[in-house]
Structure 1
Amino acid sequence: MGVVETLTSRNADFAASGFSPDLRLMPKLKTIVIGCVDPRVDPNAVLGIAPGEVGTLRNVGGRVTPALLHEMEMLRKVVQAGGGDIGPGWEFVVLHHTDCGITRLESEPEMLSEFFDTDQQHLAEQAVSDPRASVAHDVAALRNDPRVPGVRVSGLVYDVATGRTETVVEP
């Protein structure tokens, strides 16, 4: 059986026993988790998140980039169109992790500069090789972005060797 057949078979099981038509577009916990695409660090599994509780945005490194901020702006417009807003009462959790694949790109400054939309002279500010420093950097970026006012932001680092998270930046 191929991957697509395996996944659609699992979907049939989900539709029969795990699907809930009562889930809403707005996350129950009014929270968005920003994390890495690394399959070892699935935010739902790592943080025990149930379906419908949070929204999740994932990219390489779980980084707050200009593209991610634009995506957040789009999400806010979606929420506003539904009569709500992303602002006070909402939380963002930035989740970085140890042994992140983005660190393997340090020899690719052109690629990283494009990803972060910065020149190579300022690339060191992104703290690509240090998950604690990078999560603090990204939390500060979110806290200072006017497109998401009044949102509580925290930063966690997940250790892929132990399965534990560490709160690096308190909300």
Structure 2
Amino acid sequence: MNLLFVKLDYQLRKVEYFFALVAGMIALIVMLMVTLDVLFRNLFNTPIVAVYELVTYSFIGMIALGFPYVQAQNQNVVIEVATSSLPAKYKNVLDLIGTVIGLFVIGVIAWQTGISTISSFVGNEYSSGLIRIPIWPAKLVLFLGLTFLAIRLFLDVFLIATNSKNRKDESETTTIQ
């Protein structure tokens, strides 16, 4: 059973890495759009239409697609004020509890985002700017990111419970006290 979770972890990391690459490409496109908008605004006094809306929707993709990768790399911000002096056994129990709570919360948010995405698609929901941009693609990307984060958390519950996923080394963790 443990080998199955390790294999699933390996396959899921490939998807998470792909999502992180897509998020990076979105960031590059956002930087290009904003730079061009500033240049056009200052040099030609003609801003690019709908850049604000596109950048806003792009940020959703950058953040949502990066969530699962950060969780897989165990690189979330950790403040260990109360747990820094605990033995590893208790830290793992607390990690497990936190991961289960995170799974529940993210699962509910992903579920509701999926419902909102379907509603937006069926209702033909558009932005209210100069150029009408459909909103459902941004919601779909958010749903995908949150769903894969929930899958990652689900897998992490089993990996932590079987001690297959180790905590960050103390040398890697910056503790705020």
Which TM-score applies when normalising by structure 1?
0.27
* More helix by percentage: 2
Q: Taking CA–CA contacts closer than 8 Å with sequence separation of 6 or more, which of the two structures ends up with the larger relative contact order?
A: 2
* More strand by percentage: 1
Look at both structures and tell me which one has the larger radius of gyration over its CA atoms.
2
Which TM-score applies when normalising by structure 2?
0.26
